[in-house]
Amino acid sequence: MVITIDHESVEVFSGETILEVARRTGHAIPSLCYAKESVHKSSCMVCAVKNCDNGQIIPSCTTLPTEGMHVETDSEEVRLIRSLSLELLLSDHRADCDAPCIMVCPQGLNIERMLHYYDGGHFGEAYRVLDAAFLLPQIACDTCKAPCEKVCRRGSIDQPVSIRTIIREIAAKAYPTSPEAGKKGWKLDKNRFQSRIGRFTEKESALLKATIHTSSNCLHCTCAGQTGCKLRLFATEAGIKRSRYESYSALPAMQKIQVSGKLWFEQAKCIRCGLCVYNSEDGFTFKGRGFGMQVVIPDESKNNMEEEMAELCPTGALYILEK
């Protein structure tokens, strides 16, 4: 079978969807809810293309081509649909990509990462993060007005994390024993899309205050699943700065639950594509419908889930957390 993609004739192999043909022949089409070799059912519409024969916008990930079909993957109209679908998804996405403290640190210290090691008792690792940003970690923040503490989300709940005090503590504790200091590398890429969590509701504040007791008090706003996050990748590519719709979202911010082993789930980052639902047996499931539809995991079914599930998730909703 032969079809036309963006005025170019291409051969279709048996069973291929439009998305698969296009990608194989060098036409880049973004997609979130598609996963090769797994059950997937169109949901996100980020892979939208136009069927020029009838003018319809179709999801390329599940549509099978028909003989002589003419498809458009890169027109103004298609790009608008794609970026709109991303914007809509992001308007119901209550999460930070990077923690606010990191964003404002004039030295580019990955504060959240450092606090992650600190909370886990790994002072050496924490020191290494510190050392990557400062020449002299011991006096690192002495002259700084600490914007990090001013923007700290914990501050909106009770007290901001005492970042400078903790830095001094790490420096003092770890310096003599820390090996291989001076490994540079991490740098915040400010060109990437940044999702923002927005204000906590009163209920959320109360819940977070009551439940999060790390030794640093840090909420760990940075998305732990951001390495494989396609949502951020395509939002950046589409040049989206922030969603243009005022966020009203019913999703509970920062409710992170341990599914099994290192597998964690944070609902506020879920785009309800259903990949984890369709590809698990008696595990993740949908609850409710419409805008209020959620993906949930009943406590009794958590053990049915394998850590590999995180690879399917197109966002940071399902992630592996190394302690």
Q: Which residues bind another protein (CB under 8 A)?
A: 41-46, 48, 57, 59, 62-64, 80-81, 84-85, 88-89, 91-92, 244-246, 248, 271-272, 274, 277, 280-293, 296, 298-301
Kindly tell me which of 58 and 188 has the beta carbon lying closer to another protein. Answer: 58
CA angle 208, 212, 216 (to 5 degrees): 125
CB of 73 to another protein, least distance (A): 15
Kindly tell me which of 42 and 267 has the beta carbon lying closer to another protein. Answer: 42
CB of 202 to another protein, least distance (A): 16
Kindly tell me which of 186 and 245 has the beta carbon lying closer to another protein. Answer: 245
Kindly tell me which of 160 and 274 has the beta carbon lying closer to another protein. Answer: 274
Kindly tell me which of 10 and 86 has the beta carbon lying closer to another protein. Answer: 86
Kindly tell me which of 102 and 317 has the beta carbon lying closer to another protein. Answer: 317
What angle do the packed helices 76-91 and 230-237 form, to 10 degrees? Answer: 130
Kindly tell me which of 56 and 258 has the beta carbon lying closer to another protein. Answer: 56
CB of 265 to another protein, least distance (A): 14
Contact 48, 22 (CB under 8 A): no
CB of 124 to another protein, least distance (A): 43
CB of 188 to another protein, least distance (A): 29
CB of 171 to another protein, least distance (A): 46
**Phi and psi of 3, rounded to 5°?**
-130, 170
Kindly tell me which of 45 and 130 has the beta carbon lying closer to another protein. Answer: 45
CB of 45 to another protein, least distance (A): 5
Two tokens at 313? 């998730």
Task: State how far the Cα of 36 lies from the Cα of 19, in Å rounded to an integer.
Answer: 11
Q: Please name the helix (run of DSSP H) or strand (run of DSSP E) that holds residue 136, with its range, or none.
A: none
CB of 11 to another protein, least distance (A): 21
Contact 122, 74 (CB under 8 A): no
**How do beta strands 70-72 and 56-59 pair?**
unpaired
Two tokens at 57? 């916008």
Listed in sequence order, the DSSP H helices in 245-316 are: 275-278, 309-312
CA angle 250, 252, 258 (to 5 degrees): 140
Closest to 90 in 3D by CA, of 259, 316, 308, 302: 316
Listed in sequence order, the DSSP H helices in the chain are: 18-24, 76-91, 100-104, 111-119, 123-133, 147-151, 163-174, 202-211, 230-237, 275-278, 309-312
**Phi and psi of 6, rounded to 5°?**
45, 55
